[in-house]
Each structure stands twice: as structure tokens, then as C-alpha cells.
């Protein structure tokens, strides 16, 4: 099965560098990014779109769904839960450490990376049991890092910050 993972369009928290799990919609730039993405993915013959339930991902999914396929949501594709960091500047953490799989540093009540990776693993293991040829998945940077771990393993140094997709970037996987 071909799996096309893409990150949602830009939202305001991406612009100002703020931890965000809440239901924030994409901004005008994000809408334009999603509209431009249609041209890049129009030849993908996907069976279904599976999206994070968060508004910024779901809105992106609705825009890019040029083939008018069914869109379903799955909670396991939601962004990493930032807990008490929610709404704070990303500058309150050492970003490399925050996205280090092996870290013992706890900045607040954020979801641990192994927990994020486990819920994405559960999603992908379940997806393997479905009878799809090709799936379009719309999610988040944190989820794209967990996808990387699923398909490539944990980086030796545990550092995952640079592994996330940029807004409306697409990555193809074979499941």
C-alpha cells in the first residue's frame, strides 16, 4: 500500500513559533499552500483521505481532496500534545532536546515522544490490515517525525527535530 503523508497548511502558530495542539485553522498562506498542492498530487490515485481531527489538518484535507474521496479522521494522527507548554513560545524549550527520543528532560506536561510514536505505530499497524492501494494522510510535523521512526527506526542520537515535514510537504511511504 502506498501511503502519502502530508503536513497541513500554515497556521498562525507556525508563523510566530508557538506550541499548538488546539483547533487552530490554517491562515491565508496555508489555504494557498493547500491549493497549490492540488497540482502536485492530482495524479495520485488514492482510495481515501485520513486526517488528523484538528481543524488545520482537516481543512487542508478538504482543500486537497481533488478526487472527492471519503475523508475520515483518526485521533492517533493528532499533533503531539504539548500540555502545559500549550500557547507558549517554542523558545521556552531547547528544541533539540524537546524532540530527542531518549531525553529525560521534562518541560511540563507534554506527551512523551515514545507515546506519540506508539500511537502512530498503532495507527499504521491497523492501516496495514485495510484493503487500500493508496492512502492520503494529512497530519502534523510531530506525527511526521513518528512516521519517520516507524519506517526508518529511531535515529542513533535520538534527535528528531529535523525529521518533520514542512507545511504541505508530502512524503511517500510503502506500507
Q: Is residue 41 within 8 Å of residue 14, measured between CB atoms?
A: no
Which domains can be identified in the chain, with CATH numbers? 2-174 (3.40.50.1240)
d(CA 152, CA 155): 8
Model-level pTM?
0.96
Helix, strand, or coil (residue 97):
helix
d(CA 147, CA 124): 9
State which H helix or E strand residue 4 sits in.
Answer: strand 2-7
| Full pLDDT tens readout for the chain, 175 residues | 999 999 999 999 999 999 986 789 999 999 999 999 999 998 999 999 999 999 999 999 999 999 999 999 999 999 999 999 998 999 999 999 999 999 999 998 999 999 999 999 999 999 999 999 999 999 999 999 999 999 999 999 999 999 999 999 999 999 9
d(CA 34, CA 76): 22
Q: Is residue 59 within 8 Å of residue 25, measured between CB atoms?
A: yes
> Parallel, antiparallel, or unpaired for β 2-7 and 71-73?
unpaired
Helix, strand, or coil (residue 117):
helix
CA angle 69, 73, 77 (to 5 degrees): 120
Amino acid at each position: 500500500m502506498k501511503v502519502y503523508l502530508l503536513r497541513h497548511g500554515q497556521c498562525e502558530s507556525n508563523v510566530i513559533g508557538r506550541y499548538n495542539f488546539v483547533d487552530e485553522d490554517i491562515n491565508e498562506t496555508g489555504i494557498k499552500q493547500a491549493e497549490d498542492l492540488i497540482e502536485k498530487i492530482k495524479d495520485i490515485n488514492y482510495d481515501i483521505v485520513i486526517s488528523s481531527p484538528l481543524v488545520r489538518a482537516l481543512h487542508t484535507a478538504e482543500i486537497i481532496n481533488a478526487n472527492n474521496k471519503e475523508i475520515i479522521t483518526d485521533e492517533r494522527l493528532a499533533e503531539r500534545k504539548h500540555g502545559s507548554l500549550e500557547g507558549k513560545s517554542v523558545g521556552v524549550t531547547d528544541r533539540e532536546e524537546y524532540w530527542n527520543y531518549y531525553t529525560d528532560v521534562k518541560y511540563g506536561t507534554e506527551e512523551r515522544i515514545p507515546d506519540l510514536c506508539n500511537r502512530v505505530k498503532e495507527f499504521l499497524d491497523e492501516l496495514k490490515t485495510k484493503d487500500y492501494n493508496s492512502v492520503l494522510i494529512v497530519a502534523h510535523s510531530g506525527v511526521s517525525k513518528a512516521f519517520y521512526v516507524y519506517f526508518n527506526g529511531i535515529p542513533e542520537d535520538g534527535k528528531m527535530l529535523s525529521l518533520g515535514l514542512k507545511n504541505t510537504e508530502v512524503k511517500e511511504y510503502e506500507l
